[in-house]
Amino acid sequence: MSRPYENSHEGEAEDVSGAEAQVIPLHGPGREKPDSAAQADRDLRESEEAQEHLEQERRADAPVVEFPGTARVSPARTRPADADLLPAPLRSALGFLRDRLTGDYTVDEFGFDAELTETLLLPPLRALYEKWFRVDTFGVENLPTDGGALLVSNHSGTLPLDALMTAVAVHDHVPGGRYLRGLGADLVFQVPLVGSFARKSGQTLACNADAERLLRKGELVGVWPEGFKGIGKPFASRYKLQRFGRGGFVSAALRTGVPIIPVSVIGAEEIYPKLGEIKLLARVLGLPYFPVTPFFPLLGPLGAVPLPTKWSIEFGEPIRTDTYDADAVDDPMLVFTLTDQVRESIQQSLYKRLSQRKSVFKG
């Protein structure tokens, strides 16, 4: 059965001459279809969110005026600006102190502390290297930028300042700032404070076991085969190389296959001209010698100031050891021959540099 208003609606649609009927929804206000209402709500929410986002962007771009007593600036943003106001050495020192207090630093198996070396030890040595001894360096291209090598040098100067200056030369002239890991005598590590700083700066005991471990790790290792015979020789014997021992350093190089680099140092012989020694005092103090120079012990501590001689350090051409067989280290004749070759290379380099030097203090 049909309703009256439905019949009336159909009649009106048929009376229109050939035109398509228009259907007008009969739902009253407040009775919209559920799908249309949900879509309208979503559109309204999206419009409001877009307006809120634009408003936030405008507020972010607007200049912020801070009133007295307010602290709305983030500390993370002010820290770099404050840090830039401090000199680089002071920033480095503060960072070093922070790491020491928090324990946020590392040392290797030999006790080497790279941060302490860079912050405390190298700067004063570098000043001595550049301003006092005015060191000229030659043959830096012979030093490898990576991988192990054994640096063999002459030794002189009463105190081992030549080893320290060679370490500065290696660090400052080799790309990447490589460290020279020196092999020191037992006495160095027995002296209070000196032994501790020697360990922290990368030095270790002069024995084949430690030398080979360092070389296999790809380190630059320094050795001074003359030992106390070289560093404590009298002024009359300056620049005359003493005996190089039994060639233990050559054995370490052969076992690890690293090159041997001869190093010659000019200028260290004259910083403390040794005229004699007091043997009784040396025995009492447990020292290999107690030197007598023109100024020490006559002037006391002032006599311990080294003379400002002009230095030169030359790194010679590498002598390869990786071309020998594995059992070559057991051949004493080969070890002796290589030891003599290294010694002769250093001696000839010393003579050559001395012949070109015009003045002890001007070079």
- Report pLDDT digits (tens) over 151-166: 999 999 999 999 999 9
pLDDT band at 179 (very low <50, low <70, confident <90, very high): very high
Q: Tell me how far apart the alpha carbons of residues 210 and 222 are, in angstroms, rounded to a whole number.
A: 12
Q: Tell me how far apart the alpha carbons of residues 346 and 153 are, in angstroms, rounded to a whole number.
A: 7
Q: Tell me how far apart the alpha carbons of residues 336 and 329 are, in angstroms, rounded to a whole number.
A: 11
Summarised one tens digit per residue, pLDDT across range 209-256 is 999 999 999 999 999 999 999 999 999 999 999 999 888 999 999 999
**Considering only 46-60, 275-289, 323-337, which range has the smallest mean pLDDT?**
46-60
Amino acid at the residue 143:
L
Average pLDDT over residues 19-24: 50
Between the two ends of the chain, the Cα-to-Cα distance in Å is 127
* Fold category of 110-120+132-271+306-356 in CATH: Glycerol-3-phosphate (1)-acyltransferase (3.40.1130)
| Residue 287: both structure tokens together | 């020292």
Residue 315 near residue 143, CB atoms below 8 Å: yes
Look up the pTM and report it.
0.75
Give the DSSP letter of residue 310: -
Domain ranges of the chain: 110-120+132-271+306-356
How many C-beta neighbours within 10 Å does residue 220 have?
26
